[in-house]
Amino acid sequence: MSGFDIGQDIISYVALGDSFTEGMDDPYPGDSAVPQGGRYRGWADRLAEHVADTGTEVRYANLAVRGKLIRQIIDDQLPRAVELRPDLVTFCAGGNDIIRPGGDPDLVARVFEGAVRRLTDTGATVVLFTGADTASQPVMRHLRGRIATYNMHVRAIADRYGCPVVDLWGMAALHDRRAWSEDRLHMSAEGHRRLALRVCEVLGVPAEGDWDAPWPDLPAPDWRLARQADLHWAREFLVPWIGRRLTGRSSGDGRTAKRPNLEPLR
């Protein structure tokens, strides 16, 4: 981890990726929802806040945009990240490629490695992420094989380039449905909070809280309510997602990065 030292007076941090890194679905305190064009918080913002809490000045850019495929991230975000020459980079990409029909984790991994090479050449510490285990999500369970294959590639790439890895697959706390938002694809605010703490642990950043703390007990499941929730999810989230795939649209169309420049965290 050549470019990152928690003892520095100033740390520059750039986050690259898609909706996972943009912060969906984690609204800022006081906002019950984020309106069209609004800004989410997310684990990357929370990570920057934790670093700043140590007394270090943090200059932070978040280039992530929801819905982006890996080649779009490389074309649109990677050159800017290299230009900024940060001390710390978090890079998570490829998930949107893999969950699409015919997604090839081997091909995505080859593209991913080229990006990691360019990022590590800057001297930055580049943090990588495995995909989360979808065993607890019935609609996504069939993707476990692709995700596991991609995860093995990510770990091998991390070994080759000396990158720390945040293992989402092994985070049992993410197996609880409360770690995920209503759309069952993005993390909830609590999921983002726990993930930020896990990234801090990997980087050696002191932070208050336990990402692996037990969840409070849930009442016994009600199958009628569960079926109603499934129907609501299909109507509100699955059908629109399929519609975007069929028409070649993306949730990120027309959107730009929420923090395109390295700016002091306030």
Find the CATH number of the domain harbouring 191: 3.40.50.1110
In a domain, 5, yes or no: no
Separation between Cα atoms, residue 13 and residue 188, nearest integer Å:
23
pLDDT more than 70, % of the chain:
83
Q: Computed from CA positions of residues 19, 21, 159, 74, in that sequence, does the dihedral angle turn out positive or negative?
A: positive
**Tell me: the pLDDT tens digits for 135-151?**
877 667 888 999 999 99
Q: Report how far apart, in Å, the C-alpha atoms of 236 and of each of 6, 232, 244 are.
A: 43, 6, 13
What range defines the domain where residue 115 resides? 10-264
φ/ψ of 247, rounded to 5, equals -105, 0
Residue 117 domain-assigned (yes or no): yes
Identify the weakest region by mean pLDDT among 78-87, 136-145, 155-164, 211-220: 136-145
Identify whether 4 is part of a domain: no
DSSP secondary structure, 182-239, as one string: TTSSSB-HHHHHHHHHHHHHHHT---SS-TTPPPPPPPPP-HHHHHHHHHHHIIIIIH
pLDDT, tens digit (0-9, with 9 covering 90-100), for 213-222: 999 987 777 6
Strands 165-166 and 125-129: parallel
For the chain, what is the domain count? 1
Mean residue pLDDT of the chain comes to 88
- Residue 142 in any domain: the answer is yes
